[in-house]
Amino acid sequence: MPSVVNDSCVLCKSCVEVCPVGAFHDAGSQVVVDPNTCIDCGVCISECPQGAIQSSDEADAKWVEFNATKAAECPAA
């Protein structure tokens, strides 16, 4: 399952720097994960100092949908 970013994200972008496939997109006030690019390696989850990233099977459905929708609309981070 791909990773998902929730509203605890404060744009530190440490997750962007460690993502091996460039799955993050800049959604203005936070970053989001493109579920079609994410390979579920989990590196971003352990890197996030705010605990704002989790696996989509553990995340609230609204954040799974938010990440997928925003990633399709926003530029790569």
For the chain, list the domains and their CATH numbers: 3-73 (3.30.70.20)
Alpha-carbon span 23 to 33, nearest angstrom: 5
Beta bridge partners of 33: 24
Output the pTM of the full model. 0.94
Q: Which residues pair with 24 in a beta bridge?
A: 33
A 10 A CB-CB count for 43 gives 16
Mean pLDDT to the nearest integer, 25-32: 94
pLDDT band for 1, please (50, 70, 90 cuts). confident
CA distance 45 to 69: 20
> Is pLDDT at 53 greater than 90 in this prediction?
yes
Q: How far apart are CA 77 and CA 3, in angstroms?
A: 15
